Amino acid sequence: MTNDMINIVVEVMPHFEGYVYPNEATQQPLWGVLIVLYPYITGLVAWAFIMASLVRVFNVKALEPVYRLSLLTAFAFLLCAPLPLLFHLGHPERCFEVMMTPHLTSPMAIFGFVYAWYLMAVLLLELWFDYRRDFVTWSESTPGFKGLLYRLFTVGVTDVSAPAVQLDHKIGHILSVVGIPSAFLLHGYVGFIFGSVKANPWWGNVLMPIIFIMSAMVSGIALCVFNYMVLTWIRRKTVDMKCLDVMGMYLFYALVVDTAIEALDWIHRIYSAEEGFRVIQYMAREKLFYTLSLGQVACGTLVPLILLGLLQLARRRVPELARRRMYFVGASLILMGVLAMRWNVVIGGQLFSKSLRGVMGYKMEFAGLEGWFMGAVLLCLPFVVLTVMVKLFLAEHDQK
């Protein structure tokens, strides 16, 4: 009786076409929206940090107004980055095994170490050295709970003599230099998690880490543009157009490189047309039309390319207000496009059978761990954390 029931369920399930292995015939893909968010948030971290490094290491003075905001953005997003991973585990209570008894041939096992390195050794230290003098000043001038917090953050180090501050700067500079390859490592490795799966022709690709790094670069810069514009709007300040133009320039060139590499990936796939190509082609045409062709390519890449490209060509002829709007729209579209790209990689890679004979459907639920609601909450959480940090650590007078 039970078997009959299952037989009916398996056969009636409307969302399979062709043949899929019996273990693949589940209602939901194994890795859902949580795993879409994880590489997205990690990518934002890596390149928000590099935006800050541009000021510190490469001495791009124009970006100074967003220096601290970029650092705080990276920190807020890094704090939230492992949450989606943790929630999706079958046994989250065993998560520390990944660090206690890592299996070193696994790309996922390295995550714990790369993450800890980046959080503890790079970002946290850099923030502390950068803010140390301010903590001392603020702890003296701020009363109440907030003052107590600042005093706690000084960790008892209250020396703000000129040599001490100079040492802070020096260490901060070294940490920034170390942080740049670390950011590449953090996100390149995320790409490798997918790129190393040779069983899946959509993922198993040597370009995958590079594609992830490049798209992270684009989304990270776009997030800094977005956050900077929203923050100045909330604080009723004027946007520093020079800073915005420089960010827009970096965004445009990063987008050009990203588009070129992703195009190269597709050209290679189409030209070599390997075993899994037919099913990949079907996926791109049918199953992922909205997220790939519309979301990622048209809205997430081409429109921002045109908008930002126009601004590069004819910046002086476009009035400030229009320029601001174009940057804002471009950055928002890029943020959405990169999210679509993560969706296409993670969900797209699970919508066809490894028998290469069939495809599965996926309808996202609203409630539940892998639903819309949870996804939205986890996506908003870093912004909430960032708001608190901005309140605490980014005084209005800091922002020009």
Residues 6+ apart with CB under 8 A from 247: 51, 63, 66, 221, 224, 225, 228, 327
DSSP-derived 3-state class of residue 101: coil
- Residues 11-40 binding another protein (CB under 8 A) are 11, 19, 21-26, 30-31
Residues 6+ apart with CB under 8 A from 394: 68, 69, 72, 231
CB of 84 to another protein, least distance (A): 12
Helices (H) and strands (E) in the chain, counts: 15, 2
Query: Which residue lies nearer to another protein by CB, 197 or 318?
Result: 197
Which of 15, 58, 106, 388 binds another protein (CB under 8 A)? It is 106
Rule CB under 8 A: say whether 200 interacts with another protein. Answer: yes
Rule CB under 8 A: say whether 88 interacts with another protein. Answer: yes
Distance, in Å, from the CA atom of 140 to the CA atom of 128, rounded to the nearest integer, reads: 17
Map residues 237-276 to x or -, x wherever contact with another protein holds by CB under 8 A.
Answer: --------------------------------------x-
Q: Please report, for residues 49, 57, 82, 124, 296, the alpha-carbon distance to residue 112 in angstroms, rounded to integers and kept in the order given.
A: 19, 27, 9, 16, 30
Rule CB under 8 A: say whether 185 interacts with another protein. Answer: no
- Residues 202-221 binding another protein (CB under 8 A) are 203
Which of 59, 105, 141, 272 binds another protein (CB under 8 A)? It is 105
Give the number of other CB atoms < 10 A from CB of residue 157: 13
Site for another protein (CB under 8 A): how many residues?
49
The residues that bridge with 358 in the sheet, in sequence order, are 18
Rule CB under 8 A: say whether 9 interacts with another protein. Answer: yes
CB of 209 to another protein, least distance (A): 15
Q: Left, alpha or beta for 170 (phi > 0: left; psi -120 to 50: alpha)?
A: alpha
Rule CB under 8 A: say whether 161 interacts with another protein. Answer: no
CB of 100 to another protein, least distance (A): 9
Distance, in Å, from the CA atom of 345 to the CA atom of 38, rounded to the nearest integer, reads: 12
Which of 14, 59, 61, 91 binds another protein (CB under 8 A)? It is 91
Which of 57, 60, 83, 109 binds another protein (CB under 8 A)? It is 109
Rule CB under 8 A: say whether 130 interacts with another protein. Answer: no
Query: Which residue lies nearer to another protein by CB, 21 or 290?
Result: 21
Amino acid letter, 370: E
Task: Give the gyration radius of the chain's Cα atoms.
Answer: 23
Supply 41's token pair.
Answer: 């948030």
CB of 189 to another protein, least distance (A): 12
Q: Please report, for residues 34, 238, 297, 379, 395, the alpha-carbon distance to residue 288 in angstroms, rounded to integers and kept in the order given.
A: 18, 41, 11, 22, 44
Q: Where are the beta strands (DSSP E) in the chain?
A: 16-19, 357-360
Which of 1, 2, 162, 367 binds another protein (CB under 8 A)? It is 2
Query: Which residue lies nearer to another protein by CB, 173 or 357?
Result: 357
Which of 90, 144, 156, 163 binds another protein (CB under 8 A)? It is 90
The footprint of another protein (CB under 8 A) covers 2-4, 6-7, 9-11, 19, 21-26, 30-31, 88-92, 94-95, 97-98, 101-103, 105-109, 111, 193, 196-200, 203, 275, 350, 353-357
